[in-house]
A and B are shown apart, each in its own frame.
Chain A
Amino acid sequence: MDLELETTQRDSQTVLTVRGEIDVYTAPRLRQAIVDLVDAGSVNLVIDMDKVDFLDSTGLGVLVEGLKRVRTRGGDLSIVVTQDKIVKIFEITGLNKAFSLHASLDDALGEPVSGG
């Protein structure tokens, strides 16, 4: 499955919904989407990865870049992860401590429930 990206606005937060596989081939598209959003002024991002089937170190690197990008502009980046296989990748790299991880989009749009 290729990568599908969809952007929606929820009050002051911008939700980037990602579906498919994030790997060395598709990660540049995710990177560009985040860059475009931040350049357009969307610095409070929620990356919804509920439908992401695969994530590798390249994809993680893009998310870290995105986090730095929004924070340097006074914003923040939250991530929705619901699948154990994706949560595991954040855990073994220690990035669960760097990101605000959420079990649902509603949680991400409200108060953090895990991570941080």
Chain B
Amino acid sequence: MTPPGADGGPVPGLELEVPPKPALVRTARHAVAALARLHQAPEDLVEDIKLAVSEACNTAVARAESSQGSATEPLTVIASVSRGRIEIEVFDPNGKVSREVAGSPSEIDTEDLPFDRILALPIVRGLVDEVGITQEDRGSRMRMVVSLAATAEAPSAG
């Protein structure tokens, strides 16, 4: 099978809106995983991508759940592949970050990564090549990039 875009044609991406509910995190991760498989990502990398998407969505879902019903706007998950990398963005309309970050997760101060659950932090640090978190007018956006070229050795959780 010829990978999408290998012939110079347009590369399909995906954008989906999901209510911030635990039951729908699965939908988001499987959709992004399907896109990665479409681009012939190796299966171990697909598993990493699924986990990274889940952790990004979990943070937003936990925030919505703790709002006691006031946070109902859907999350937006956007994924695209170009130049051998998959870029995933999770926009949380209820998100607020105190400090914006960008770069390699292993080089970012732990305190600047806004994951509520302590176990999510080393997971994201260990799986993605780049992470960026920005505050926008209507919410926060997490951007993660994973190279599809080869499965890199997971960095230490440190």
Give residues in A with beta carbon < 8 Å to B: 21, 23-25, 54, 56-58, 60-61, 64, 84-85, 88-89, 91-95
Instruction: Say how far B2's CB is from chain A's closest CB, in angstroms.
Output: 27
| B123–A23 CB distance below 8 A | no
Query: Do residues A56 and B122 form an inter-chain contact, with CB atoms below 8 A?
Result: no
A61→B119 contact, CB < 8 A: yes
Query: Complex Cα distance A57/B50, Å?
Result: 12
Nearest neighbor of B158 in chain A, beta-carbon distance: A94
Q: Which 10 A-B pairs have the closest CB atoms?
A: A92-B126, A57-B119, A25-B22, A57-B120, A24-B22, A85-B47, A56-B54, A25-B23, A60-B119, A24-B58
On whether the beta carbons of A24 and B25 are closer than 8 Å, the reply is: yes
Within the complex, the shortest CB–CB distance from A47 to chain B, in Å, comes to 16
CB B54 to nearest CB in A, in angstroms, measures 5
Contact yes or no, A56 B26, CB < 8 A: no
Interface residue? B51 (CB, 8 A): yes
Q: Is the interface of B mostly helix, strand, loop or mixed?
A: helix
**In this assembly, does B6 line the interface, its C-beta being within 8 Å of a C-beta of chain A?**
no
Check: B157 CB closer than 8 A to any chain A CB: yes
The answer to the question of B154 belonging to the interface, with a C-beta cut-off of 8 Å to chain A, is yes
**B: contact size bracket:** 20 to 34
Q: Which of A24, A61, A64 lies in contact with B54, CB distance below 8 A?
A: A24
**Please, how many angstroms separate the alpha-carbon atoms of A58 and B51 in the complex?**
11
Residues from chain A with a CB closer than 8 A to the CB of B26 are 21, 23, 25
Q: Which of B44, B58, B125, B126 contacts A56 (CB 8 A)?
A: B58
Q: Does B83 contact A (CB under 8 A)?
A: no
Interface string of B82-119 (1 = CB under 8 A from A): 00000000000000000000000000000000000101
Whole-angstrom distance between the Cβ of A23 and the nearest chain B Cβ: 6
Residues of chain B with a CB closer than 8 A to A94's CB:
122, 157
A60 to B62, CA, bound (A): 16
Contact partner of A58 (CB less than 8 A), chosen from B44, B58, B156, B157, is: B58
What CA separation (Å) do A25 and B27 show in the bound complex?
A: 11
Q: Is B61 an interface residue (CB 8 A)?
A: yes
Closest to B43 in A: A85
Are B51 and A56 closer than 8 Å at their CB atoms? yes
A-B contact pairs, 20 of them (CB 8 A): A23-B25, A23-B58, A24-B22, A24-B58, A24-B61, A24-B62, A54-B29, A54-B47, A54-B50, A56-B55, A56-B120, A56-B123, A61-B119, A64-B119, A84-B44, A92-B123, A92-B125, A92-B127, A92-B157, A95-B119
Q: How far is the CA of A95 from the CA of B123 in the complex (A)?
A: 11
